[in-house]
Amino acid sequence: MTDITLTHEPLDLPLSGVWRISRGSRTRAENVLVRLSWIDADGHAWEGQGEAAPYGYYGELRGTVTACLDEFATLLGNDPFAIEAILGRIEARVRHNTGAKAAVDMALHDLWGKILGRPVWQAWGLDASQGPVTSYSIGIDTPEAMGNRASALAEAGWPLIKLKVGTRDDIRCVSAVREAAPSVRLIIDANGAWTPREAISRLSELAQFGIEFCEQPCSSTDVAGLRFIRERSDIALVADESCATEEDIAALVGAVDGINIKLMKCGGLRRARRLIEVARANHLRVMCGCLIESSLAISAAAQLLPLLDYADLDGNLLLASDPFSGVTASHGRMVLGNGHGLGVTPRTIHTEA
């Protein structure tokens, strides 16, 4: 039996088009692929994989991720079943840097499941047939372009669409989408673009389009603003940027109706499950979202599906080419396979030195 070894390499993910939200736009994601290797007492070699999606808004870049991973490589020990102890040592060594931590967490769960010969969801005792459909996100664009995209998604059978908002054209854009796809369910995400009073006015105008909820209408640091909006709007609110870990939930109780978990915000599956438990205890709805990620990270998050009310796990669907195959989505319904660990296999992995 050997120590667990960690290696990492760049994972460049070009998008199929320009992705725009209220904070800016991007055409590619500079992620990091992590591999954990271990040889058991019988000499059998095992490997688990994880992915970090560093995002400047959360204080991470590819360089900070790789620096943290090099540090984490010395903390893994020789027991892949000691997930709590390993991740505890990692959290004690470096604060924040949750994308890097998430990659190691994913790889550990992948390794654990493969050794057990079970998918992670099954090892947790969950029912893969349960769980919500995933939304498909439409980034900020012209009303015509957003309407055309919504029409195509509706024709393809997607039942739930998420619209990025936060511009002067919000009403026209949402109206165009609703006209193009009258039967789909709609949610919106402002990514903190509005002041509380702007949010109240905008949500009042948008209510006519049958919006299920709005994510992060105002600044992530303005919890009082979220409470102010919730008291004056008929549209439910979900905290995204305001809720990174379970420690953030207490302040949000009464200010929002739900939270959006992301593995890259909280540090992986272990912390995500804590978030779900704390949110449930406080009668909050639970959503799991993503950044621009390959099917590796999306499949990791999808292990949580049976525990969720909402899912927004479409980051891999926005890519020009996905280097992994894993969880699939048909008409919004995600299918968790029986592949061991995270159930992910590589296609062609494009890396840069």
Based on the fold, state whether residues 46 and 132 are members of the same structural domain: no
Alpha helices in 156-255 (DSSP H): 170-180, 196-206, 223-230, 249-252
Q: Which amino acid is at 53?
A: A
Q: Binning pLDDT at 50, 70 and 90, where does residue 348 land?
A: low
Cα–Cα distance measured from residue 72 to residue 66, given in angstroms and rounded to the nearest whole number: 10
Residue found by looking up tokens 């994601």 in the block? 29
Based on the fold, state whether residues 325 and 261 are members of the same structural domain: yes
pLDDT in tens, 82-111: 999 999 999 999 999 999 999 999 999 999
Q: Which amino acid is at 279?
A: A
Q: Binning pLDDT at 50, 70 and 90, where does residue 352 land?
A: very low
Which has more pLDDT, 349 or 41? 41
- Residue 69 has a pLDDT of 98
Calculate the dihedral angle through the C-alpha atoms of 126, 157, 325, 114, rounding to the nearest 10 degrees.
10
- 139 is in which domain, residue-wise? 123-346
Q: What is the mean pLDDT of residues 68-74?
A: 98
Question: Number of helices and strands (H, E) in the chain?
Answer: 12, 15
Closest CA to 50 of 111, 3, 4: 111
Q: Which amino acid is at 103?
A: A
Cα–Cα distance measured from residue 190 to residue 169, given in angstroms and rounded to the nearest whole number: 12
Closest CA to 11 of 57, 73, 82, 69: 69
Cβ distance 265 to 293 under 8 Å? Answer: no
CATH number where 250 lies: 3.20.20.120
Cα–Cα distance measured from residue 175 to residue 188, given in angstroms and rounded to the nearest whole number: 12
Cα–Cα distance measured from residue 150 to residue 190, given in angstroms and rounded to the nearest whole number: 18
Cβ distance 217 to 237 under 8 Å? Answer: yes
Would 351 be classed as within a structural domain? no
Pairing of strands 160-164, 324-325: unpaired
Cβ-based neighbour number of residue 248 at 10 Å:
18
Q: Which of 69, 85, 117 is the last residue of a domain?
A: 117
CATH number where 81 lies: 3.30.390.10
Based on the fold, state whether residues 71 and 184 are members of the same structural domain: no
Q: Which of 117, 149, 183 is the last residue of a domain?
A: 117
Based on the fold, state whether residues 181 and 95 are members of the same structural domain: no
* Token duo for residue 116: 């057990």
- Residue 353 has a pLDDT of 41
Cα–Cα distance measured from residue 244 to residue 345, given in angstroms and rounded to the nearest whole number: 29
- Residue 253 has a pLDDT of 98
Based on the fold, state whether residues 92 and 138 are members of the same structural domain: no
Based on the fold, state whether residues 100 and 130 are members of the same structural domain: no
Would 90 be classed as within a structural domain? yes
Based on the fold, state whether residues 138 and 219 are members of the same structural domain: yes
pLDDT in tens, 170-228: 999 999 999 999 999 999 999 999 999 999 999 999 999 999 999 999 999 999 999 99
Task: Name the domain count of the chain.
Answer: 2
Cα–Cα distance measured from residue 145 to residue 160, given in angstroms and rounded to the nearest whole number: 18
pLDDT in tens, 296-347: 999 999 999 999 999 999 999 999 999 999 999 989 999 999 999 999 999 9
Based on the fold, state whether residues 96 and 173 are members of the same structural domain: no
User: Any idea what DSSP says for residue 165?
Assistant: -
Q: Which amino acid is at 21?
A: I
